[in-house]
Structure 1
Amino acid sequence: MIHASMTTSTSEEAEGVVMAIPMPGHPIARQEEEKVVDDCKPLSDLLESHDVVFLLTDTREIRWLLNLLCVNANKVTITGALWFDSFLVMRHDAGPLLSRNTSSKAETVVGSSLSVSVEEMSLGQKDSKPRLGCYFCNDVVAPVDV
């Protein structure tokens, strides 16, 4: 599919990556823990290297981890989810670590670490715009395999 889309748009830079993504509710054996962490490094690097992330995955369990990683990396994220009788397309915010510079009206990254202070992650900052909710904050069902 990637090769077909590149023939119509030669400026497109796309690649397909097949990988195993850890999911909540699926236990990981002790002997596999290191391999799972090693598998998550390329995933994190892949997310960091892009401006926008499209989550076209088959279960909400997988979308959960990817959504968290995208928020942590301050990436605009688009989720596309298909079910038997319905679908969802949702745009997520770039993450809580963006602040608005009032003098230049440009968004700047405050930080990209999980250890950012609670004050910087506040949704009530007076100089920033309101944030969009995430896929799971707006969903009434806990992440389970569907």
Structure 2
Amino acid sequence: AEFQLTITERSGNNLSNDRISDPRAGQLSSVQEVWGRGQTWRLTQMWYKQTFLDDALDVKFGRFGEGEDFNSFPCDFQNLAFCGSQVGNWVGGIWYNWPVSQWALRVKYNLGPEFFVQVGAYEQNPSNLETGNGFKLSGSGTQG
């Protein structure tokens, strides 16, 4: 079994707006992975994971983002365009990446050392994006 607890605090200036992009043109993504989703404290991860059947079945429950288990790849960059779950970078009003968490359940079955199948169910709650809701555990505001 595993338990993960991660609390983050984002504080500072947006380097993309302040130094790189022309404020008249806008931009698609931030150059800093540590900027965005409100400069605030957040409960980013709080999950419990248990394996069964000689580690073939892996069940994870708690608060985390879809990008931890779906639509992600190893990241060697600081830039948000290359890191994190891509769907969360481009459709961030529905798919929430780090540091925003939501109630979730992920079930994974390992078919072999290199192949697996998995399914997940995630709360879709726009109020989790609000700066004052970094530690919100209730489901109020849930849309699905």
What's the TM-score once normalised by structure 1's chain length? Answer: 0.24
Q: Which has the larger radius of gyration?
A: 1
Specify which structure has the higher proportion of helix.
Answer: 1
TM-score under structure 2 length normalisation: 0.24
Question: Structure 1 or 2: larger strand share?
Answer: 2
Q: Which structure would you say has the larger RCO, counting Cα contacts within 8 Å and 6 or more residues apart?
A: 2
